[in-house]
A = this chain, B = another copy of it.
Amino acid sequence: MELKQSARPNLSVTVAGMELKNPVMPASGCFGWGEEYARFFDLTDMGALVGKAVTPRPRPGNAGVRIVETPSGMLNAIGLQNPGPEAFLRDVLPRVRELGIPVWVNVSANALQEYVDLCGLLSSQPGVSAIELNLSCPNVGRGHAEFCVTPEAVMDTVSACRPVCRTHLIPKLSPNTTDITALARAAEAAGADALSMINTFVGMVIDIDKRRPVLGNRTGGMSGPAVRPIAVRMVYEVAGAVSIPIIGIGGISTWRDALEFLMAGATAVQVGTASFFNPRAIPEVIQGLETWMVDHGVANIREVIGAARVPTGG
Protein backbone atom coordinates (compact mmCIF):
# COMPACT_ATOMS: atom_id res chain seq x y z
CA MET A 1 0.00 0.00 0.00
CA GLU A 2 2.19 2.79 -1.28
CA LEU A 3 1.04 6.38 -0.86
CA LYS A 4 0.83 7.84 -4.31
CA GLN A 5 1.60 11.33 -3.10
CA SER A 6 1.06 13.26 0.05
CA ALA A 7 -0.98 15.99 -1.62
CA ARG A 8 -4.36 16.50 0.02
CA PRO A 9 -6.89 14.22 -1.64
CA ASN A 10 -9.81 15.75 -3.46
CA LEU A 11 -13.07 15.08 -1.64
CA SER A 12 -15.26 17.33 -3.73
CA VAL A 13 -18.26 15.95 -5.57
CA THR A 14 -20.85 17.42 -7.88
CA VAL A 15 -24.50 16.76 -7.16
CA ALA A 16 -26.65 17.87 -10.06
CA GLY A 17 -24.30 20.70 -10.94
CA MET A 18 -23.89 21.73 -7.33
CA GLU A 19 -20.27 21.58 -6.25
CA LEU A 20 -19.79 20.28 -2.69
CA LYS A 21 -16.36 20.47 -1.09
CA ASN A 22 -16.93 17.03 0.34
CA PRO A 23 -19.77 14.51 0.12
CA VAL A 24 -20.86 14.66 3.77
CA MET A 25 -23.81 16.57 5.19
CA PRO A 26 -26.35 16.16 7.99
CA ALA A 27 -29.67 14.38 7.45
CA SER A 28 -32.79 16.46 7.81
CA GLY A 29 -34.22 16.62 11.32
CA CYS A 30 -31.06 15.29 12.92
CA PHE A 31 -29.08 18.50 13.13
CA GLY A 32 -31.55 21.28 13.86
CA TRP A 33 -30.34 24.18 11.74
CA GLY A 34 -26.83 23.56 12.94
CA GLU A 35 -26.86 25.90 15.92
CA GLU A 36 -26.47 23.11 18.48
CA TYR A 37 -23.64 21.39 16.64
CA ALA A 38 -21.77 24.63 16.03
CA ARG A 39 -20.68 24.14 19.64
CA PHE A 40 -18.87 20.92 18.65
CA PHE A 41 -17.25 21.73 15.31
CA ASP A 42 -16.99 24.22 12.50
CA LEU A 43 -20.13 23.87 10.40
CA THR A 44 -18.36 25.19 7.33
CA ASP A 45 -16.36 21.94 7.22
CA MET A 46 -19.46 20.19 5.90
CA GLY A 47 -20.32 19.61 2.26
CA ALA A 48 -23.73 21.19 2.77
CA LEU A 49 -26.22 22.02 5.49
CA VAL A 50 -29.56 20.22 5.44
CA GLY A 51 -32.00 21.56 7.96
CA LYS A 52 -35.09 20.17 9.54
CA ALA A 53 -38.33 20.01 7.63
CA VAL A 54 -40.31 23.13 6.92
CA THR A 55 -44.06 22.61 6.60
CA PRO A 56 -46.72 24.93 5.16
CA ARG A 57 -47.73 26.11 8.61
CA PRO A 58 -45.95 26.05 11.98
CA ARG A 59 -46.30 22.68 13.70
CA PRO A 60 -45.98 22.16 17.46
CA GLY A 61 -45.05 18.50 16.99
CA ASN A 62 -46.52 15.41 18.65
CA ALA A 63 -47.54 15.09 22.27
CA GLY A 64 -46.40 12.19 24.44
CA VAL A 65 -43.22 10.16 24.12
CA ARG A 66 -41.43 11.05 20.89
CA ILE A 67 -38.41 8.79 20.83
CA VAL A 68 -37.53 5.30 21.91
CA GLU A 69 -34.35 3.35 21.50
CA THR A 70 -34.34 0.07 19.58
CA PRO A 71 -31.54 -2.44 18.97
CA SER A 72 -28.85 -0.36 17.19
CA GLY A 73 -31.50 2.15 16.21
CA MET A 74 -34.26 4.43 17.37
CA LEU A 75 -37.83 5.34 16.56
CA ASN A 76 -38.90 8.94 16.37
CA ALA A 77 -42.31 10.48 16.19
CA ILE A 78 -41.39 14.13 16.47
CA GLY A 79 -44.26 15.11 14.22
CA LEU A 80 -42.34 17.64 12.13
CA GLN A 81 -42.16 20.28 14.84
CA ASN A 82 -41.09 23.49 13.11
CA PRO A 83 -41.90 27.18 13.20
CA GLY A 84 -43.22 27.35 9.63
CA PRO A 85 -41.93 29.11 6.51
CA GLU A 86 -42.25 32.72 7.71
CA ALA A 87 -40.15 32.13 10.81
CA PHE A 88 -37.73 30.08 8.77
CA LEU A 89 -37.20 32.87 6.28
CA ARG A 90 -36.99 35.51 8.98
CA ASP A 91 -34.92 33.81 11.70
CA VAL A 92 -33.05 30.91 10.16
CA LEU A 93 -32.18 31.47 6.53
CA PRO A 94 -30.31 34.76 6.99
CA ARG A 95 -28.07 33.13 9.59
CA VAL A 96 -27.31 29.87 7.74
CA ARG A 97 -26.69 31.64 4.41
CA GLU A 98 -23.75 33.29 6.11
CA LEU A 99 -21.99 29.95 6.47
CA GLY A 100 -21.10 29.96 2.80
CA ILE A 101 -21.87 26.27 2.27
CA PRO A 102 -24.86 25.09 0.22
CA VAL A 103 -28.10 25.12 2.21
CA TRP A 104 -30.72 22.51 1.42
CA VAL A 105 -34.24 22.99 2.68
CA ASN A 106 -36.31 19.92 3.47
CA VAL A 107 -39.96 20.44 2.61
CA SER A 108 -42.81 18.35 4.02
CA ALA A 109 -46.52 18.61 3.43
CA ASN A 110 -49.75 16.66 3.51
CA ALA A 111 -51.21 17.56 0.17
CA LEU A 112 -49.98 18.09 -3.36
CA GLN A 113 -50.85 21.76 -3.54
CA GLU A 114 -49.07 22.40 -0.27
CA TYR A 115 -45.90 20.87 -1.67
CA VAL A 116 -46.18 23.01 -4.77
CA ASP A 117 -46.79 26.25 -2.89
CA LEU A 118 -44.05 25.69 -0.37
CA CYS A 119 -41.60 24.60 -3.01
CA GLY A 120 -42.34 27.70 -5.03
CA LEU A 121 -41.94 29.96 -2.03
CA LEU A 122 -38.74 28.52 -0.63
CA SER A 123 -36.92 27.66 -3.84
CA SER A 124 -36.92 31.27 -4.97
CA GLN A 125 -35.15 32.54 -1.87
CA PRO A 126 -31.55 33.54 -2.38
CA GLY A 127 -29.38 31.23 -0.32
CA VAL A 128 -31.46 28.13 -0.84
CA SER A 129 -29.35 25.76 -2.94
CA ALA A 130 -31.75 22.86 -3.12
CA ILE A 131 -35.18 21.75 -2.09
CA GLU A 132 -35.21 18.29 -0.56
CA LEU A 133 -38.75 17.07 -1.06
CA ASN A 134 -39.67 14.85 1.88
CA LEU A 135 -41.99 12.37 0.19
CA SER A 136 -42.21 10.19 3.25
CA CYS A 137 -43.47 11.11 6.59
CA PRO A 138 -45.02 8.40 8.63
CA ASN A 139 -45.53 10.54 11.71
CA VAL A 140 -48.02 13.15 10.70
CA GLY A 141 -51.32 11.39 11.02
CA ARG A 142 -53.69 9.88 8.47
CA GLY A 143 -53.28 6.43 10.02
CA HIS A 144 -50.24 4.67 8.71
CA ALA A 145 -50.48 5.92 5.18
CA GLU A 146 -47.48 7.72 3.84
CA PHE A 147 -47.56 10.36 1.25
CA CYS A 148 -45.52 8.79 -1.52
CA VAL A 149 -44.93 5.08 -1.39
CA THR A 150 -46.19 4.41 -4.92
CA PRO A 151 -44.50 5.44 -8.17
CA GLU A 152 -47.67 7.24 -9.28
CA ALA A 153 -47.72 9.47 -6.21
CA VAL A 154 -44.02 10.24 -6.56
CA MET A 155 -44.52 11.07 -10.22
CA ASP A 156 -47.45 13.39 -9.46
CA THR A 157 -45.73 15.25 -6.68
CA VAL A 158 -42.38 15.72 -8.34
CA SER A 159 -44.01 16.70 -11.66
CA ALA A 160 -46.11 19.31 -9.91
CA CYS A 161 -43.18 20.79 -8.01
CA ARG A 162 -40.71 20.76 -10.87
CA PRO A 163 -42.04 23.78 -12.78
CA VAL A 164 -42.29 25.98 -9.69
CA CYS A 165 -38.95 24.95 -8.25
CA ARG A 166 -36.33 27.58 -9.06
CA THR A 167 -33.44 25.55 -7.72
CA HIS A 168 -32.28 21.94 -7.50
CA LEU A 169 -35.11 19.57 -6.70
CA ILE A 170 -34.13 16.49 -4.70
CA PRO A 171 -36.97 14.16 -3.75
CA LYS A 172 -36.29 12.10 -0.64
CA LEU A 173 -37.65 8.58 -0.95
CA SER A 174 -39.41 6.37 1.55
CA PRO A 175 -38.04 2.87 2.05
CA ASN A 176 -41.46 1.56 3.06
CA THR A 177 -42.14 0.34 -0.42
CA THR A 178 -42.02 -2.82 -2.48
CA ASP A 179 -39.72 -1.59 -5.19
CA ILE A 180 -37.63 1.46 -4.50
CA THR A 181 -36.30 1.49 -8.06
CA ALA A 182 -39.81 2.19 -9.31
CA LEU A 183 -40.08 5.24 -7.04
CA ALA A 184 -36.64 6.37 -8.16
CA ARG A 185 -37.43 6.03 -11.85
CA ALA A 186 -40.67 7.92 -11.38
CA ALA A 187 -38.83 10.76 -9.66
CA GLU A 188 -36.20 10.88 -12.38
CA ALA A 189 -38.80 10.87 -15.12
CA ALA A 190 -40.61 13.72 -13.38
CA GLY A 191 -37.49 15.85 -13.49
CA ALA A 192 -35.70 15.30 -10.20
CA ASP A 193 -32.10 16.53 -10.15
CA ALA A 194 -30.95 13.98 -7.59
CA LEU A 195 -32.43 11.57 -5.04
CA SER A 196 -32.05 11.49 -1.29
CA MET A 197 -32.58 8.02 0.07
CA ILE A 198 -33.69 6.81 2.45
CA ASN A 199 -36.08 8.16 5.01
CA THR A 200 -37.11 6.12 8.06
CA PHE A 201 -38.85 2.73 8.33
CA VAL A 202 -42.17 2.63 10.12
CA GLY A 203 -41.75 0.78 13.40
CA MET A 204 -43.31 0.24 16.81
CA VAL A 205 -42.13 -0.60 20.30
CA ILE A 206 -44.62 -1.83 22.88
CA ASP A 207 -44.32 -1.06 26.57
CA ILE A 208 -45.16 -4.45 28.07
CA ASP A 209 -45.84 -2.98 31.50
CA LYS A 210 -48.28 -0.37 30.27
CA ARG A 211 -49.55 -2.69 27.54
CA ARG A 212 -49.51 -0.05 24.86
CA PRO A 213 -47.16 1.39 22.25
CA VAL A 214 -44.39 3.48 23.81
CA LEU A 215 -44.72 6.37 21.39
CA GLY A 216 -47.54 8.85 21.74
CA ASN A 217 -48.07 8.47 18.01
CA ARG A 218 -47.98 4.63 18.35
CA THR A 219 -45.64 4.19 15.39
CA GLY A 220 -42.45 6.06 14.61
CA GLY A 221 -39.69 6.23 12.05
CA MET A 222 -36.82 3.83 12.55
CA SER A 223 -33.31 5.09 11.86
CA GLY A 224 -29.76 4.37 12.91
CA PRO A 225 -27.15 1.70 12.21
CA ALA A 226 -29.79 -1.06 12.33
CA VAL A 227 -31.24 0.02 8.98
CA ARG A 228 -27.95 0.55 7.18
CA PRO A 229 -27.81 -2.76 5.26
CA ILE A 230 -31.27 -2.17 3.84
CA ALA A 231 -30.37 1.37 2.85
CA VAL A 232 -27.12 0.27 1.19
CA ARG A 233 -29.02 -2.35 -0.79
CA MET A 234 -31.56 0.24 -1.92
CA VAL A 235 -28.86 2.67 -3.02
CA TYR A 236 -27.10 -0.14 -4.88
CA GLU A 237 -30.33 -1.07 -6.67
CA VAL A 238 -31.30 2.48 -7.53
CA ALA A 239 -27.80 3.34 -8.78
CA GLY A 240 -28.41 0.70 -11.40
CA ALA A 241 -31.81 2.08 -12.32
CA VAL A 242 -31.37 5.84 -12.69
CA SER A 243 -28.65 8.17 -13.88
CA ILE A 244 -29.20 11.12 -11.56
CA PRO A 245 -26.97 11.33 -8.47
CA ILE A 246 -27.97 9.67 -5.22
CA ILE A 247 -27.47 10.99 -1.71
CA GLY A 248 -27.13 7.90 0.49
CA ILE A 249 -28.74 7.98 3.94
CA GLY A 250 -29.39 5.42 6.64
CA GLY A 251 -27.34 4.48 9.66
CA ILE A 252 -24.11 6.17 8.62
CA SER A 253 -22.00 6.75 11.69
CA THR A 254 -18.40 6.22 10.59
CA TRP A 255 -16.32 6.88 7.49
CA ARG A 256 -16.49 3.15 6.77
CA ASP A 257 -20.26 3.34 6.56
CA ALA A 258 -20.01 6.38 4.28
CA LEU A 259 -17.63 4.48 1.99
CA GLU A 260 -20.11 1.61 1.74
CA PHE A 261 -22.73 4.01 0.39
CA LEU A 262 -20.31 5.68 -1.99
CA MET A 263 -19.11 2.32 -3.30
CA ALA A 264 -22.75 1.24 -3.69
CA GLY A 265 -23.22 4.20 -6.00
CA ALA A 266 -24.07 7.25 -3.89
CA THR A 267 -22.44 10.55 -4.84
CA ALA A 268 -22.85 12.03 -1.38
CA VAL A 269 -24.09 10.94 2.04
CA GLN A 270 -26.05 12.28 4.96
CA VAL A 271 -25.40 11.51 8.61
CA GLY A 272 -28.53 11.43 10.75
CA THR A 273 -28.98 9.58 14.02
CA ALA A 274 -25.22 9.28 14.49
CA SER A 275 -24.96 12.96 15.43
CA PHE A 276 -27.16 12.19 18.42
CA PHE A 277 -24.84 9.58 19.85
CA ASN A 278 -21.66 11.24 18.64
CA PRO A 279 -21.96 15.00 18.16
CA ARG A 280 -18.74 14.98 16.16
CA ALA A 281 -19.86 12.20 13.83
CA ILE A 282 -19.94 14.42 10.74
CA PRO A 283 -16.42 15.88 11.00
CA GLU A 284 -15.12 12.43 11.95
CA VAL A 285 -16.66 10.93 8.81
CA ILE A 286 -15.07 13.65 6.66
CA GLN A 287 -11.70 13.28 8.36
CA GLY A 288 -11.88 9.50 8.16
CA LEU A 289 -12.58 9.56 4.43
CA GLU A 290 -9.64 11.84 3.87
CA THR A 291 -7.30 9.65 5.89
CA TRP A 292 -8.51 6.53 4.10
CA MET A 293 -7.87 8.20 0.74
CA VAL A 294 -4.34 9.13 1.75
CA ASP A 295 -3.67 5.63 3.06
CA HIS A 296 -5.01 4.00 -0.08
CA GLY A 297 -3.61 6.40 -2.64
CA VAL A 298 -7.04 7.53 -3.74
CA ALA A 299 -6.57 11.03 -5.07
CA ASN A 300 -10.18 11.77 -5.92
CA ILE A 301 -13.22 10.54 -4.03
CA ARG A 302 -15.12 10.27 -7.30
CA GLU A 303 -13.01 7.19 -8.07
CA VAL A 304 -14.83 5.17 -5.43
CA ILE A 305 -18.39 6.12 -6.37
CA GLY A 306 -20.03 2.89 -7.48
CA ALA A 307 -16.77 0.94 -7.09
CA ALA A 308 -18.52 -2.05 -5.52
CA ARG A 309 -21.08 -2.38 -8.26
CA VAL A 310 -20.89 -5.75 -9.94
CA PRO A 311 -22.30 -6.04 -13.47
CA THR A 312 -25.78 -7.56 -13.33
CA GLY A 313 -25.76 -11.32 -13.62
CA GLY A 314 -22.34 -11.37 -11.94
Contact = CB atoms under 8 A, between A and B. Distances in A.
A208 B256 contact: yes
Contacts of A201: 229-230
Nearest to A149: B178
A265 to B, nearest CB: 10
A228 B308 contact: no
Interface in A8-23: none
Interface string A151-186: 000000000000000000000000011110000000
A194 interface: no
A212 B310 contact: yes
Contacts of A178: 149-150, 176-178
Interface in A230-272: 230, 232-233, 236-237, 251, 256, 259-260, 263-264
A126 interface: no
A206 B264 contact: yes
Contact of A204 (B205, B225, B227, B232): B232
The prevalent SS among residues of A at the interface is: mixed
A213 interface: yes
A230 B203 contact: yes
Nearest to A306: B211
B218 A222 contact: no
B226 A71 contact: yes
Contacts of A72: 71-73, 225-226
Each complex incorporates copies of this chain amounting to 2
A213 B73 contact: no
Contacts of A176: 178
Given A208-B263, A233-B219, A71 B228 contact: yes
Contact of A259 (B177, B208, B232): B208
Contact of A229 (B75, B177, B228): B75
A260 B208 contact: yes
Nearest to A183: B178
A63 interface: no
A259 B209 CA distance: 10
B208 A229 contact: no
Contact of A237 (B144, B211, B304): B144
A150 B259 CA distance: 33
Given A71-B72, A176-B178, A219-B233, A264 B308 contact: no
Given A225-B71, A226-B73, A228-B70, A203 B259 contact: no
A239 to B, nearest CB: 12
16 contacts: A70-B228, A71-B71, A71-B225, A71-B226, A73-B229, A149-B179, A150-B178, A202-B233, A203-B229, A205-B232, A206-B232, A206-B308, A208-B256, A208-B260, A212-B310, A222-B229
Top 3 A-B pairs ranked by shortest CB distance?
A203-B229, A71-B225, A71-B72
